[in-house]
Amino acid sequence: MKKFLISLSVFLLAAFVTQYVVYTVFKKVLDSKSKFRITRYFRSPKHKYFVLGNSRGVNSINEKYATEKLKLDIINLSFNGMPYQNMAAILTDVNSKNTNAVIFVEISCLNNNEFDNSYSYYSSNSTIIKKQFSGSVYNMFNLLRLDNELFLRNIYYLKKSDNDWVNNYTITQSIIDKIKTDTSFKIAPNKDLFATRLAELQKTCNDHGNRLVYFLAPYYPGYLYKISDYNSVLSYMSENSKTYQFINLNKEKMTDDMFADRLHTNVKGSVLLTTDLVALSK
């Protein structure tokens, strides 16, 4: 029994130390080398323009085009399925490190209520994110912070840049045909919560002297009628135009070959939208 208890204690201690060492080594290397956009931000947090949102934010604003052709100091921090809480934490971090910046937020991510533990990956990079995970298991077992897609993406982008990560294919006729059978949905299923969140983000940016610009990335035109609260969201933004700067990119003249699917634009669409968003925000 004594031998068993000693062996078990040594095993647990060694496991605990090893997971800490493995985490520290991985994090150090990835934080200094990876070109994944959120890691790039934490390495160099000062920029003029920021974009935040979910996959619609990723695919509508083309960072590579904006940097190389429009000569803008911009970073697109949007990520697939980014929930509001995680987005708000990054936005607060951006505000704490920048002034006079322009922050674009794609409003369809304001409705995502799920909290994503993947962002624990960045809890050592940001006191705001660290606070969100305080008291959780991620504090005790550091290696758990790497148990997510963000870690894998950081490895993937060790050698290549991700600033041109925009869908590079065109919507197919079968996807267009399928729209008829799609169920309708809402951008803001809970209107009060939507309003509260708009105000929260605005206050954070105002407090730090940064300009917040809300925008709605385009949906495939033939899909717009499936959004049951599309007009009411636009009305709300219009009624509050003195409080919030809002740009509806669905007004742009978009052709079918600018869409990757019903929800996302492709490279061609993103080039047009990036130019227009920056111009309209001035």
- Print the binding letters for residues 6-35 with another protein: x by CB under 8 A, - otherwise: -xx--x--xx--xx--x-------------
Closer residue to another protein, CB minimum distance, 15 or 279? 15
CA distances from 228 to 54, 68, 115, 175, 225 (A): 20, 38, 25, 20, 7
- Print the binding letters for residues 103-132 with another protein: x by CB under 8 A, - otherwise: ------------------------------
Closer residue to another protein, CB minimum distance, 92 or 123? 123
Closer residue to another protein, CB minimum distance, 148 or 275? 148
Helices (H), 179-239: 191-207, 230-239
Does the protein bind another protein through residue 3 (CB under 8 A)?
A: yes
Query: How many of the chain's residues bind another protein (CB under 8 A)?
Result: 22
Give the Cα separation of 144 and 137 in Å (integer).
8
Closer residue to another protein, CB minimum distance, 2 or 282? 2
Question: Phi-psi bin for 107: left (phi > 0), alpha (psi -120 to 50), beta?
Answer: alpha
Cβ atoms of residues 265 and 258 within 8 Å: yes
Q: Specify the DSSP element, H or E, that contains 149.
A: helix 149-156
Does the protein bind another protein through residue 152 (CB under 8 A)?
A: yes
Residues 6+ apart with CB under 8 A from 60: 53, 106, 217, 218, 249, 264, 265, 269, 270, 273, 274, 277
Closer residue to another protein, CB minimum distance, 18 or 127? 18
Residues 6+ apart with CB under 8 A from 268: 257, 258
Q: Which of residues 33, 67, 116, 156 is near another protein by CB under 8 A?
A: 156
Distance in Å, CB of 58 to another protein, minimum: 15
Closer residue to another protein, CB minimum distance, 149 or 200? 149
Does the protein bind another protein through residue 159 (CB under 8 A)?
A: no
Q: Which of residues 256-275 bind another protein (CB under 8 A)?
A: none
Does the protein bind another protein through residue 71 (CB under 8 A)?
A: no
Closer residue to another protein, CB minimum distance, 87 or 146? 146
Distance in Å, CB of 3 to another protein, minimum: 4
Does the protein bind another protein through residue 172 (CB under 8 A)?
A: no
Does the protein bind another protein through residue 143 (CB under 8 A)?
A: yes
| DSSP state letter for 279 | H
Beta-strand ranges (E) seen in 59-133 are 74-76, 102-106
Helix (H, G, I), strand (E, B), or coil: what is residue 42?
Answer: helix
User: What is the number of alpha carbons within 13 Å of residue 266 lying toward its C-beta?
Assistant: 15
Q: Which of residues 51, 146, 233, 271 is near another protein by CB under 8 A?
A: 146
Residue of 111, 129, 128, 99 whose CA lies nearest to 206:
99
Residue of 87, 79, 117, 94 whose CA lies nearest to 45:
94
Closer residue to another protein, CB minimum distance, 150 or 187? 150
Where along the sequence are the contacts to another protein (CB under 8 A)? Answer: 1-4, 7-8, 11, 14-15, 18-19, 22, 141, 143-144, 146-147, 149, 151-153, 156
